[in-house]
Chains A and B, each alone.
Chain A
């Protein structure tokens, strides 16, 4: 890879450890309160520093990143309300641990996008890799393409909407929140889920352990209709609902050795 701006500035401390270069380059073009960053020659660190400086220090509420080029870990850790647009694809761990932003990605994302999202809206106009929306706690994550395996693993809240097909173990160990899967779904849907709801419009290859069909209620339909209208996904098709069968709930049953301790 060619040397990129910022990389040549790496310095080492007395112990030979890398001293983090956290100077903001200030290459963003700001016009009418909107900022644009051309990321093609910047490193991941410099792009993220630039975004953080704009939204936290300069009070800019609308940031557009051009040519992200599939770089990893872009747009992570933004904990305030703002608008971000990425014109191109992002790599792994995109938009992780965000709390508040409203993001549009005009491209695809790699593995673990929006991992641990707390709040906000992310719309991805492309495909996504595996582990999309891992452990999210809130907000809406909309993928207008297909996703890999284990979407919403350990989901603790929020809503994940997938308009394409989804891979295996979707909703694996899900604990709260909702998933709306408008395409076909791979094997082991909702495997070992604790709670939460999964709506599926397409075919389900197989259900995972302790994932059982549920009954669609008026509240379910109202929720799906509202969300689909909001994200321009049309009117709801025929949906199947899946919930936790609660057969694996063994929290009150102590192991014999533990019982002795308690008594």
Chain B
């Protein structure tokens, strides 16, 4: 089933971490397996990269913590080797880290190098984007990663009911549009031409982190934007080229987009006002962040909408 939500403020930064947490928690019944956030904080000159050094199903044996430390320093070494200047390493949990660094080279080379370290996944990379995803409901994940105080301009989130791949961090949404900085996707539905697109995108050099069909959307959009398409154009093309039932949300450094398949098989409720746009699978989620009686509607089939902050 899965639940998705997104919010974009038109009047500067708000407590996006807290708002997204409330929206996702109210839709816990749509997916209790894992929760993920893609939040946009204050943009900085430096890059911020969130990585996991081990997944949920990685064996926790006797030298597990030692291996994590080793991997963390290996990642640091790889970053230095490609020419990045690491300024800060934040150990959020024992198996996730956030690296802050200055870098001017090719992001794909950098990300590929980091992922060459065993079991390491790059969750997000960008000047403002932070992807946080883990097993558990929205409140558990928010507390684990201290999202309550996070200020930002927009964000999306996802509660997952796993249908076609494992319950682990790799299978959790949102997906970063590897190797595009500051682009992330959440998806509710199933894609039926997954293997067609996976083979095609792998041949053009993209890599896949998981066996989850939703990852295709992120990589697909990344490919289209690499060819020069705007977010809206790429999303419009996806309506033709992706098969299945889906409603997905995509965020970039300054905008939030939604796309709904031709059958309108997956729900999305939209609320729009002068200073806030909120979308969610169910209206109760929007009510968590907007007080009073509100007017909302469901976008129609085949619709693509993009809002800029």
Contacts and interface: CB of A to CB of B under 8 A. Distances in A.
B264 A148 contact: yes
Interface string A74-111: 00000000000000110110000000000000011011
Contacts of A69: 284, 287
A186 B282 contact: no
B297 A149 contact: no
B301 A70 contact: no
A168 interface: yes
B262 interface: yes
A92 B293 contact: no
A72 B295 CA distance: 17
B63 to A, nearest CB: 38
A187 interface: yes
Nearest to B286: A70
Sort chain B's interface into a size bin.
Answer: 20 to 34
A70 B284 contact: yes
Nearest to B29: A72
Q: Which interface residue of B264, B283, B287 has the most chain A CB atoms within 10 A? A: B283
B287 A70 contact: yes
Contact of A130 (B282, B293, B298): B298
Contacts of B269: 110, 129
A238 to B, nearest CB: 23
A18 interface: no
A236 interface: no
B266 to A, nearest CB: 9
Interface string A143-183: 00111111000000000000001011100000000000000
Interface SS majority for chain B: loop
B279 to A, nearest CB: 14
B296 interface: yes
A149 B286 CA distance: 21
B300 A108 contact: no
B121 interface: no
A187 B254 CA distance: 33
Nearest to B285: A70
Contact of B267 (A71, A129, A145): A129
A89 B287 CA distance: 10
Nearest to A130: B264
Contact of B284 (A91, A129, A149, A187): A91
A146 B297 contact: yes
Contact of B282 (A91, A145, A147): A91
A126 interface: yes
A254 interface: no
B263 interface: yes
B283 A70 contact: yes
Contacts of A145: 297
Interface string B144-164: 000000000000000000000
Contact of A148 (B284, B294, B300): B300
Contact of B263 (A72, A108, A111, A168): A168
Given A89-B293, A89-B296, A167-B298, 11 more contacts: A1-B25, A71-B284, A108-B283, A129-B267, A130-B264, A145-B297, A146-B298, A148-B267, A149-B263, A150-B264, A167-B301
